[in-house]
Every structure is written in structure tokens, then in C-alpha cells.
Amino acid sequence: MDFLLKKVFEQQRLTKIEIKQIAEQMFEGELTESQIAGFLMALKHQGETAEEMAGLAETLQTKAMKIACTRTNVMDNCGTGGDQSGSFNISTTSAFVLAAGGVTVAKHGNRSISSKSGSADIFEHLGVDIALSPEKLSTVLNEVGLAFLFAPHMHPKMSYVMKVRRELATPTILNLIGPLTNPVFLDSQLMGTYRRDLLEETAKTLKDLGRKRAVVINGAGGLDEASLAGTTHYSLLENGKISLHTVEPEELGFSKTSLKAIQGGNSKRNTEILLSILKNQPSAYLDTVIVNAGFGFFTNGKVKTIQEGILLAKDCVASGAAFDKLQQLIQVQKEVS
């Protein structure tokens, strides 16, 4: 193990097998905090590769709680966070729209990283129990077609690195792989990232992890979501091939909107924003969710284009189906608790 760590510290690339050997010891508490910190910062300094991200993600998945899902074509729309935008909970709100449109969403998430309120904080404020047993979560996911999987609850082995992550106070490869470690097998994935330079590498990682379709997205201003503030960059994994694309708000039928217009607040404020969106109240918040849900439908293969996805997202909100999906989730959660 010392030999492998030395390779990392000397800026040498590791194979997937080698990175998994280090990850195995790291997630079993067999590395010191100094070794973990050095390892994470060395990878950050030289730039993370698809092999390294896939190796870490696969190792963590083997140690995660198991969630049984009988549904097919399951997806997640979790982002890395870390964009420092202070935006409201875009992917969380979009998940209700996607589920209303017939997509099964295993929503992986955590507490706040770059905003004042993370997805876990919102679900808690809505009255959703974020610490259900795997059996109860399976029931919710299979019945509702949407469940929230609280990352620290799903991945108890992450406890071995949490102190180091807090003390480093900077995003590392562990932030990048967070959305890659969903304990439910995913057929498709819409993944936001704050690292535009890793759009292609992240798509390669998703391919390695077995996704059939995937979109990795980075919005204007470095947002880990599709943004109406300017150009959105994304990579598309389709039929085993990866391509890079850009899209402007005008191409999607929207005017440019500043990032200030989608600022969030604490969990109470962000929950108010979520409810206003699901009740179809016009705003930059609503438009942003419609675009991101549109990307989600496209990613899942529900529609052939992002524009068609946007039309479906608008219908899911305007019809009240997205709000009804929220009510269904709350009701089923109460029944199984």
C-alpha cells in the first residue's frame, strides 16, 4: 500500500485496480488521516481520471446499503454540488417533475455543500424521513417511483473520511464521485458537475459504471445544473459513444436570466420555492426546473430531444401531476414509517 500511495504522491497515474486497492483500505479505516488527506490532494492536483473516479465509486458501492428496485429504467439526477452558486434546490425539485412524467427516480443526495440548504434538508422540511431502512426505502421507490437516498445513511463507510473532508475545506474527488455511488442500479443518469473540464471524463466514468444513457452537465457560471444565465455545456453518452455539446437558453425557448434570479435560502425558503414551482407559479425558478427536467427526460430516453423534454416537463407541472407526486411521496413515507 505504501508503494501505491507513493505513486500518487509522485504524480503517477493509478490503474483502476490500484485505485480500488487504496479505496478498499480508505473505506475500511485502515489509512491514517494524513494518508487520506495526501491522497485526495494529490489526485486533485494532477487532475482526476475516469479510471480513478470509477474505481473509487465501485468500491464505495460494494459497501453501500442495498436497495431492491423492481422497476426498470431507473435514473438519478444528483449533482456534485460545490459550485458555490447559492442556488435553490434545482435537482430535488426536478425529481418530482421527472417522476410525474413516468421516470423512476432514485434521488441520491446529501445536506448542503454549496448552498444554504441541501436536498436532505428540503426533504426533511417536507416531512420526509431521510433515514428509512433499506426495506422501507425499497417499498417507497417501487410504489411511488421516487425515493430520496440520503448519502451518509446509504454509505456508512464514508465516516472514515468525513473528518478529513471537513478539515480540507475544498472539493476533492470524493465530491466528484458522490453522484456516481447510488446504491440502486441506474440505467440512465443526469449528473451535474461544477467541473466543466471533466465533462468527458465523467461521461467515460458513467459508461464504465454501466449506464446506458447519461448526460453530464455544467451550466453558465459554473452551475452544476442547466443554466439560463448563458451557455450550458454537456456531454452525452449514447449507444456507447460520448459527444460534447452546448446549448443556449434561446434555443430552448427561454430568455437569459441571471444567476441572482435563482438564489435560494435556508430550508424553509427553499421549500417555499419548491412548492411554488410545483404549483406552476411563473418565475425564473420554475423556468430553471422546467429546463433541467427537460434534460432529465432526454437523458432517460423518454423523449428524443431536450426541447420535447421541456414540453413534457411543462405539462407535468401545469397538470398538477408533479405536485401530486410530492403528496404521494409524503403519504407513502408516512405509511411505511
Gap between the Cα atoms of 301 and 282, Å rounded: 27
Binding site annotation covers 283?
no
- Grid cell, residue 57, equals 465509486
Binding site annotation covers 227?
no
DSSP at 332: H
Binding site annotation covers 115?
yes
CA proximity to 333, closest of 185, 182, 136, 40: 136
Binding site annotation covers 221?
no
Binding site annotation covers 89?
yes
Binding site annotation covers 114?
yes
Binding site annotation covers 306?
no
Binding site annotation covers 92?
yes
Binding site annotation covers 82?
yes
Cell 426495506 belongs to residue: 135
Q: How would DSSP label each residue in 278-306?
A: HTT--SHHHHHHHHHHHHHHHHHTSSSSH
Q: Are 137 and 149 in contact (CB under 8 A)?
A: yes
Binding site annotation covers 173?
no
Binding site annotation covers 159?
no
Binding site annotation covers 30?
no
Binding site annotation covers 142?
no
Q: Are 150 and 110 in contact (CB under 8 A)?
A: yes
Binding site annotation covers 195?
no
Binding site annotation covers 109?
yes
Binding site annotation covers 110?
yes
- Grid cell, residue 162, equals 468525513
Binding site annotation covers 94?
no
Question: Taking the C-alpha atoms of 160, 61, 113 and 249 in order, what is their torsion angle to the nearest 10 degrees?
Answer: 160
3-state DSSP assignment of residue 37: helix
| Sequence letter at residue 326 | L
Binding site annotation covers 253?
no
Binding site annotation covers 302?
no
Gap between the Cα atoms of 22 and 36, Å rounded: 10
Binding site annotation covers 165?
yes
Gap between the Cα atoms of 7 and 69, Å rounded: 40
Residues belonging to the binding site for Mg(2+) are 91, 224-225
Q: Which residues are annotated as a binding site for anthranilate?
A: 79, 110, 165
Q: Which residues are annotated as a binding site?
A: 79, 82-83, 87, 89-92, 107-115, 119, 165, 224-225
- Which residue numbers belong to the known binding site for 5-phospho-alpha-D-ribose 1-diphosphate? 79, 82-83, 87, 89-92, 107-115, 119
